[in-house]
Structure 1
Amino acid sequence: MIDLDKVGAHAWRDASGVCLPGITFDHGYRVKARVIHERDQFVRGIEPKDFDMF
């Protein structure tokens, strides 16, 4: 059973999760989350930050 409180994006939290069955680090897959600043959604200037999810 997937705990819906632990997956997806949540406001005011510093953690996020995603369920990708069969996509594992051991099989050579890599997943990154790209986070953009709220002020830079449509205007260039503040670069997004990439975070490895493993």
Structure 2
Amino acid sequence: MQFIRAYVMPFLVILTFTIALLAVSARIFLPDDMLAPAPGAESVQSATEN
């Protein structure tokens, strides 16, 4: 139990934050049209009606 608390858990925390940092920083390399947030339900509905 001491081994898990001293070595495994800190490694998992650092690994989780590293993956999150890579996922967020990957947005820099996306094309401009993909940087915008996804459209909401209202804009999707109006686009399908036209």
The TM-score normalised by the length of structure 2 is 0.21
Greater Rg, structure 1 or structure 2?
Answer: 2
Higher fraction of strand: 1
Higher fraction of helix: 2
Higher relative contact order (CA 8 A, sep 6+): 1
